[in-house]
Amino acid sequence: MKAFKTAVFAATMMTAATGMTAEISGNVALGSEYFFRGVDQAGGEALSGGFDVAFENGFYVGTWASSIDFSNGPELDYYAGYGGSLSDSLSFDVGYLFYGYPGDSALDFEEFYGSLSMGDATVGFNYSDDYFDSTGETTYLYIDYGFALSENLSLGLHYGTISADDSEAYNAVFGDTIDDYSISLSTEFSGVGVDLSLVDSSGSGALDADTQFVVTFSKSL
């Protein structure tokens, strides 16, 4: 699969280069916590950031990293994808995502993803043939809905659910986390984004979100 990952990136970069024009963007964020699908990743404050290269033909590549507390090093992700419009109101996004843990490569895993967006709503999925820490095949389904409350304030709603082919292996690592939910208010002050999120999950393990409040400050570069 690592050879496949290299091939995906090489093909994406070669194809994207024909788009002639590329837009480079970056971001950095500091959050009071980092939850991924309802599971605590940082045990407290988390510093994260990333860079994206988007081509006018719809292809993009990027990388993102965050501090975590369960590995001797950060989480370091790479992704490549393609997005476009199917109609005036319907758009799509498909791609490949590699989750890397340089401090413990045994935790590495990869996913294929896809989503459809119509108006303010997005429905998507992620599929892994061998999830985090070799816990087996999983499928993650989610729906996001966001809309503006005022000129500088928006509300976001999220629900996701994960299905594990080997539930025993999955539960041994994550407990019984299946569903995750969040409600977020987002605004901006002097170019700094502020997100206030209420995060919850159906899990009862020590690392599962349990109606927890997260504050994140972010800045586009």
One-letter identity of residue 66: S
Q: Which segment of 9-13, 59-63, 118-122, 206-210 scores lowest on mean pLDDT? A: 9-13
pLDDT of residue 145: 98
In the numeric block, which tokens belong to residue 133?
């820490």
In the numeric block, which tokens belong to residue 40?
């605590």
| Mean pLDDT within 135-143 | 97
| Mean pLDDT within 18-27 | 82
pLDDT digits (tens, 9 = 90+) for 102-115: 999 999 999 999 99
Concatenated DSSP letters for 29-87? EEES--EETTEESSSS-EEEEEEEEEETTSEEEEEEEE--SSSSS-EEEEEEEEEEESS
Alpha carbons 97 and 128: distance in angstroms, whole number: 10
Where does the pLDDT of residue 20 fall: very low under 50, low under 70, confident under 90, or very high at 90 and above?
A: low
User: Going by C-beta distance under 8 Å and a sequence separation of 6 or more, which residues neighbour residue 154?
Assistant: 146, 147, 148, 185, 186, 187
| Mean pLDDT within 28-41 | 96
In the numeric block, which tokens belong to residue 180?
């995750």
Domains of the chain: 2-220 (2.40.160.40)
* Helices and strands (DSSP H and E) totals, the chain: 2, 14
Alpha carbons 89 and 98: distance in angstroms, whole number: 30
pTM for the whole thing?
0.90
pLDDT of residue 55: 95
pLDDT of residue 205: 78
pLDDT digits (tens, 9 = 90+) for 141-197: 999 999 999 999 999 999 999 999 998 898 888 877 789 999 999 999 999 999 999
Q: What does the mean pLDDT of the chain come to?
A: 91
Burial of 169 (0-12, 13-18, 19+ CB in 10 A): middle
Distances (CA, A) of 172 to 1, 159, 176, 181: 25, 23, 9, 22
